[in-house]
């Protein structure tokens, strides 16, 4: 057999150590709930290495289907009860506070010549990517939470939630900002 020349090629990189996911159950958050409520269930991941990176990805849809002016919401990533990442003002940000009060003028998200109006049945796809470096091998409880941002906010529904958490060993390469 002829000899084959062996070419040495060194590849430096990191390994995927753990992969966990949760198909989150649909969750409704009652009106006026300004404190964060857990959407579905949490993922608990115990890093095998203290210098690992946990990559978290999430997608879902959110909906509010009631009439009213105050329809801004927030959806966040929590790890061990600490907020890591937040999307705010979903549904449109602060409204004009003018619904149902007068004819004409500016109403919430509707302009000019509209009489006593507000919106209903709004729904959007939401999602994010994020990473977290725990710096230890303690259990990390990762969950998604939602809330109304207004004290008279309307009922919020979060549906079709899917959450993935991956442990990536840092190995040779380190996770770094830019």
Partner 1 sequence: MPLTKITKKSIKGSLLLQYKYIDLSDSSLTSNTQGFTRHGEVLELTPLVGDSILEVTFSANIRQGSTGDDDQYEFALYINGEQEYLESQLLGGQASGNAYSVHGGEHDRVTAHVQYASFAEKIQNVGLVHCHQPGNTNKQEIEIRFRCVDSNSKSVHMSEGFLIAKEMGADNAGLSGTLN
Stretch that binds partner 1, among 14-22, 31-39, 75-83, 84-92 (CB under 8 A): 14-22
H or E segment and range at residue 94: none
The distance from CA 161 to its chain's CA centroid, rounded to whole angstroms, is: 9
- Does position 67 interact with partner 1 (CB under 8 A)? The reply is yes
Would you say 20 or 33 has its CB closer to partner 1?
Answer: 20
Contact 69, 151 (CB under 8 A): no
Distance CA 119, CA 63 (A): 12
Location of structure tokens 């969950």:
143
Structure tokens at 147: 């809330």
CB of 57 to partner 1, least distance (A): 4
Give the span between the Cα atoms of 167 and 56, in whole angstroms: 9
Residues 119-148 that bind partner 1 (CB under 8 A): 119-125, 127
Residues 81-120 binding partner 1 (CB under 8 A) are 100, 110, 114-120
Which residue has 């390994």 as its token pair? 15
The residue with tokens 């507000």 is 118
Report in angstroms how near the CB of residue 136 gets to partner 1 at its nearest. 16
Which among 35-43, 85-93, 130-138, 144-152 is the span making contact with partner 1, rule CB under 8 A?
35-43
| Residues found near partner 1 in the complex (CB under 8 A) | 14-23, 41-44, 48-49, 57-59, 61, 63, 65, 67, 100, 110, 114-125, 127, 159-160, 162, 164, 169, 171
């Amino acid at each position: 057999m002829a000899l084959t020349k062996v070419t040495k090629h060194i590849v430096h990189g990191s390994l995927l150590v753990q992969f966990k996911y949760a198909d989150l159950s649909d969750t409704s958050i009652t009106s006026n709930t300004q404190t964060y409520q857990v959407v579905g269930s949490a993922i608990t991941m115990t890093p095998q290495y203290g210098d690992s990176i946990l990559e978290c990805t999430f997608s879902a849809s959110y909906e509010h289907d009631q009439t009213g002016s105050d329809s801004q919401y927030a959806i966040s990533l929590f790890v061990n009860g600490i907020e890591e990442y937040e999307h705010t003002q979903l549904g449109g940000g602060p409204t004009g506070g003018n619904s149902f009060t007068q004819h004409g003028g500016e109403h919430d998200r509707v302009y000019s010549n509209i009489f006593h109006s507000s919106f209903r049945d709004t729904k959007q796809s939401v999602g994010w990517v994020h990473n977290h470096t725990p710096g230890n091998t303690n259990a990390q409880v990762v969950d998604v939470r939602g809330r109304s941002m207004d004290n008279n906010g309307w009922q919020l529904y979060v549906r079709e939630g899917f959450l993935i958490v991956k442990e990536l060993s840092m190995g040779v390469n380190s996770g770094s900002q830019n």
